[in-house]
């Protein structure tokens, strides 16, 4: 990593769906090893922002840099070109993503889900990939569920397999899009515990979440978004503890 440069940088990012402007000039920087939580009311644009980071949504304008390299576009001389899907795929390998709806591959077992990326995308030797995948499943506490198909796993277990599947690609950065929002309340803890462990190991993470406890305890940086803008950001103690902005105060008060 280039010294002094944030791992991920977002500059003047804008995105509209039809007439509705979802992101208005977003600027954001995430340093390596930092856990950034993005919070805010529904429709504030936080999921869209996360999806713009790996170009699942293509921004209308603005730029995203990973280690100083622009995402989704490429300079050739003094001309800027849009990347093709397959060029973009090479960049996407560097960012893992975990979805609200898990999206495990239903026709593959937990283990097959985890080795899919390394074997198919990186061309890793299958035996090595299986070996690493078992270690990852063990890490998320599912060593004994390796041969289960997703529909035989609980939501919490599926999400933990999804985390292992992303980690198998050895990403530089992990994106979490409301990872616990689709879970029954009693299953939220097991997923957050895995994420907490990842954070302790120094993984750089961007987490869109409604779990204020997680934001307070695990995050190093909290971003509060409303109506497509970053209203307030900083250390959790200040944003969640002593919010400066009226909209942040109102949002946090509603959660109580």
Shortest distance, position 244 Cβ to another protein, whole Å: 35
What would the x/- binding string for another protein be over residues 38 to 57, using CB under 8 A? ----------------x-x-
**What mask, x for binding another protein by CB under 8 A, covers residues 91 to 110?**
-xx-xxx-x-x-xxxxx---
Q: Does 8 bind another protein (CB under 8 A)?
A: no
Q: Point out which span in 23-31, 86-94, 210-218, 235-243 binds another protein (CB under 8 A).
A: 86-94
Candidates 125-133, 158-166, 201-209, 246-254: pick the segment binding another protein (CB under 8 A): 158-166
Q: What is the DSSP string of the chain?
A: --TTS-SEEEEEEEEEETTEEEEEEEEEEE-TT-EEEEE--TTSSHHHHHHHHTTSS--SEEEEEETTEESSEEEETTEEEEPPHHHHHHHHTTEEEE-TT----TTS-HHHHHHHIIIIIS---HHHHHHHHHHHHHHTT-GGGTT--GGGS-HHHHHHHHHHHHHTT--SEEEEESTTTTS-HHHHHHHHHHHHHHHHTT--EEEE-S-HHHHHHH-SEEEEEETTEEEEEE-HIIIIIS--SHHHHHHHHHH-
Stretch that binds another protein, among 8-16, 60-68, 161-169, 195-203 (CB under 8 A): 161-169
Stretch touching another protein by CB under 8 A, among 6-14, 33-41, 83-91, 127-135: 83-91
Q: Give residues in contact with another protein (CB under 8 A).
A: 54, 56, 85-86, 89-90, 92-93, 95-97, 99, 101, 103-107, 116-117, 120-121, 162, 165-166, 169, 175
């Amino acid at each position: 990593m280039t010294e002094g440069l944030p791992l991920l940088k977002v500059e003047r990012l804008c995105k509209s769906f039809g007439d509705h402007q979802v992101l208005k000039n977003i600027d954001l920087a995430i340093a390596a090893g930092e856990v950034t939580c993005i919070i805010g009311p529904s429709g504030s644009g936080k999921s869209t922002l996360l999806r713009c980071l790996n170009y699942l949504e293509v921004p209308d304008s603005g730029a995203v840099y990973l280690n100083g390299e622009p995402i989704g576009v490429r300079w050739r001389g003094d001309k800027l070109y849009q990347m093709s899907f397959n060029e973009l795929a090479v960049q996407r390998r560097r960012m893992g993503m975990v979805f609200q709806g898990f999206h495990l591959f239903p026709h593959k077992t937990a283990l097959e889900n985890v080795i899919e990326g390394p074997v198919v995308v990186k061309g890793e030797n299958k035996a090595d990939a299986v070996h690493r995948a078992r270690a990852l499943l063990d890490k998320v506490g599912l060593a004994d569920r390796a041969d289960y198909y997703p529909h035989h796993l609980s939501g919490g277990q599926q999400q933990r397999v999804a985390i292992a599947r992303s980690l198998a690609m050895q990403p530089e950065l992990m994106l979490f899009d409301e990872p616990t929002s689709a879970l029954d309340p009693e299953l939220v803890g097991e997923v957050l515990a895995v994420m907490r462990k990842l954070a302790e190991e120094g993984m750089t993470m961007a987490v869109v979440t409604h779990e204020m406890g997680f934001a307070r305890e695990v995050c190093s940086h909290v971003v509060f978004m409303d109506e497509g803008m970053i209203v307030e950001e900083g250390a959790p103690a200040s944003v969640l503890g002593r919010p400066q902005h009226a909209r942040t105060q109102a949002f946090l008060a509603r959660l109580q």
